[in-house]
Structure 1
């Protein structure tokens, strides 16, 4: 039996930060045909609110260190303010969405990251994605919208990288669907020169990825994103792309496609 197609789209960066860009993207996402799932990061909002509360966010290797106070902030912002804003705008565009954290319907089970070289605090590493429950929403024509919060089924919420959630959800759903995973942010793709917005590297395989790291073309926050892309491809996801919202509208061929070979 031929698998049906499923679009999984992760949004972050200025697509989240800019209200106009967010509304424009969500309008385009709403008319995307077929089964779809949206996963969003937190943009700068959690950092802004934490700063207003006198909390200083700490980042290491592109990842947030989440102490107890910052966990409360990111939960309020990601699972509350942003998740419900996104869901409401989708409803405005006649897309019947449901806003979810990993704790809702036990969709994404994680564990608190084991301390090795760095203590990331209440950061979650994903153990299980409940694909059957997520599929239940899809089969009832409900679009799941996941924020970057998971849980450990012991009552503890965990801050989990949204790129990782996108990758792991895509892997889990690839058992049921032909999954196309898209990472959407403000850039047109992975750039060979950060000063040139059109210097998109159209295709990157594993070998080229290693070369780009050695050349310091890919670094910092792009590293975990790219690692998640290749992890998805290695574990059954059919296609992975990185670019701006034109990806969804299919109005450009200027984006980055990832492949293993």
Structure 2
């Protein structure tokens, strides 16, 4: 029987709030069994970019990553955010190691082809080195991945953090029973976006189509849900969406997705 592995992606609004981040990291450190943390840092990158005179270009919520933007996110994602998270986890007796996809050749990707939009140095994931990551987990380390990958030819690439979390869960499912957590500021998928208690607790493939038709799931939640069902179709055991409280074993107010 495979061991259980938790893969948690933390959203930018939580990263930006020091109190919320500390609360989350406390809960994360207490989560039993092997685990992996994935983070971005887009809002902080935008803020620092303004100070440095580097304009952030976004289309449909996706960052256009030119050379200067790539340098910026490397500093913010791989440096500022990643190392501060690792340092705080160490203070909570959670022995962590900060990584990008280039470290240990853990996540391989290719530069996104230019179609209608040129996203610059944006990466789409090709594969995950499950055996390398398993070695880290078996050594008692908790990997903390920033939202960066590489192409194997010396080029770093900016990669969507939701996608990295999904692909890690898929890749690691060959060695573990994986549960993927998307942790953000809402308590889950909401029937009413103005009511944070209106959580849809269970969603399967059939009810997902109903929620789409009812426009309950729309806009920014759509790509997140596509990542969720993509992961489930590739042998990920379960996906959960909610705020930081869903890491508490006693919590019941979050959304669980299954096929």
TM-score normalised by length of structure 2: 0.96
Are 1:22 and 2:16 matched, yes or no? no
> Which residue of structure 2 aligns with residue 76 of structure 1?
75
Give the aligned CA root-mean-square deviation in angstroms. Answer: 1.3
CA distance in structure 2 between the aligned counterparts of 1:59 and 1:200, rounded to whole angstroms: 30
Q: Supply the distance in 2 between the matched residues of 1:247 and 1:96 (Cα, whole angstroms).
A: 22
Q: Give 1:142-157 correspondences, 5 Å limit.
A: 142-157=141-156
Q: For each residue in 1:149-201, what CA deviation from the matched residue of structure 2 results, as whole angstroms up to 9, or x when unmatched?
A: 10001111000000000000000100000111111011100111111111111
CA contact (8 A) 1:64 1:120 kept: yes
Given that 1:16 and 1:43 are in contact with CA atoms closer than 8 Å, whether structure 2 keeps it comes out as: no
**Distance (Å, rounded) in 2 between the aligned partners of 1:43 and 1:117:** 23
The aligned residue for residue 186 of structure 1 is 185
How far 1:210 sits from its partner (Å)? 3.3
Return 191-200 or 98-107, whichever deviates more.
191-200
CA contact (8 A) 1:17 1:43 kept: no
Instruction: Tell me how far 1:34 sits from its aligned partner.
Output: 0.8
Aligned residues: 259
Give the secondary structure class of the aligned counterpart of 2:219: coil
Aligned match of 1:51: 50
CA distance in structure 1 between the partners assigned to 2:235 and 2:61 by the alignment: 26
Query: Quick check: 1:9–1:182 contact (8 Å CA) kept in 2?
Result: yes
CA distance in 2, matches of 1:243, 1:34: 20
Query: 1:194-234: CA deviations, max 9, x gaps?
Result: 11111111122233333433443323322221111111100
Taking the TM superposition and a 5 Å limit, the aligned residue runs for 1:194-209 are 194-209=193-208
Asked if structure 2 preserves the Cα contact closer than 8 Å seen for 1:61 and 1:221, the reply is no
Q: CA shift at 1:43, angstroms? A: 4.6
What corresponds to 1:245 in structure 2?
A: 244
CA distance in 2 between counterparts of 1:144 and 1:109 reads 16
Separation in 1, partners of 2:22, 2:179: 22
**Which secondary structure state, in structure 1, belongs to the residue aligned with residue 27 of structure 2?**
helix
Distance in 1 separating the partners of 2:227 and 2:149? 17
